[in-house]
Amino acid sequence: MPEMLLLRPLTEEETCDLRVLAHGQKVEARLRDRARICWLSHQGKRVREIVARVGVGDATVRHWITRVNAQGLAGLADAPRIGRPPTYTSDEIGTVIATSLTPPDDLGLPFGSWTLDRLAAYLHEERGIAIKRSRIGEILQAEGLRWRTQETWFGERVDPAFAEKRGRSSPSTKRPLTGVS
């Protein structure tokens, strides 16, 4: 049978802070649950009673009480998690953004605007950054940048006399009637 586990004696300041965390309405839910576990233990409740009241497992209750006993109230916060390291360094991401904002003409390239494919090829060949076009798009979108859409003619033509200068579109097109017949 596991031995009885209780929260260590708290200072007045820790007690006040723990009460605020355990009963606060604007506290993150998982932090509030952790604080409630410790608050109930501070009140003298046993692990089984805390499990029933909070609705978590026995191991969870023991984990948070043990962690607060060792680290204080700072132990209620999320610990840093180990995960996959970033694929691209911040310098490489900065290079991607800076290159995309630089006109290709300034780099001596034979085209006037970037596409994702051109940018990916340039970064790989000239800068040594092997990056997919989809990842470039994600980086630029996260930075608030987006590609210009190709401009087309909508609305008024630039030249108001364009239709007269152009003439009929084909010989089979009839001219519209202008007067009353």
The pLDDT score that the predictor gives to residue 51 is 93
More confident residue, 117 or 152: 117
Mean pLDDT across 8-26? 93
Residue 137 to residue 146: CA distance in whole angstroms? 8
The predicted-structure confidence for 149-181, as pLDDT tens digits, reads as follows 555 555 555 677 776 777 766 767 677 777 665
Cα angle 92, 98, 102 (rounded to 5 degrees) comes to: 140
Q: What is the CA radius of gyration of the chain?
A: 34
Residue 117 to residue 108: CA distance in whole angstroms? 17
- Taking each continuous run of H as one helix and of E as one strand, the counts in the chain are 8, 0
114 CB neighbour count, 10 Å cutoff: 21
Residue 120 to residue 118: CA distance in whole angstroms? 6
- At residue 43 the predicted structure's pLDDT band, cuts being 50, 70 and 90, is very high
Residue 149 to residue 146: CA distance in whole angstroms? 9
Dihedrals phi, psi of 13, to nearest 5 degrees? -65, -45
Mean pLDDT across 49-71? 94
The pLDDT score that the predictor gives to residue 1 is 46
Residue 148 to residue 153: CA distance in whole angstroms? 15
Mean pLDDT across 49-57? 93
* Per-chain mean pLDDT for the chain: 87
- At residue 96 the predicted structure's pLDDT band, cuts being 50, 70 and 90, is very high
Mean pLDDT across 58-85? 92
| pTM over 0.75, yes/no | no
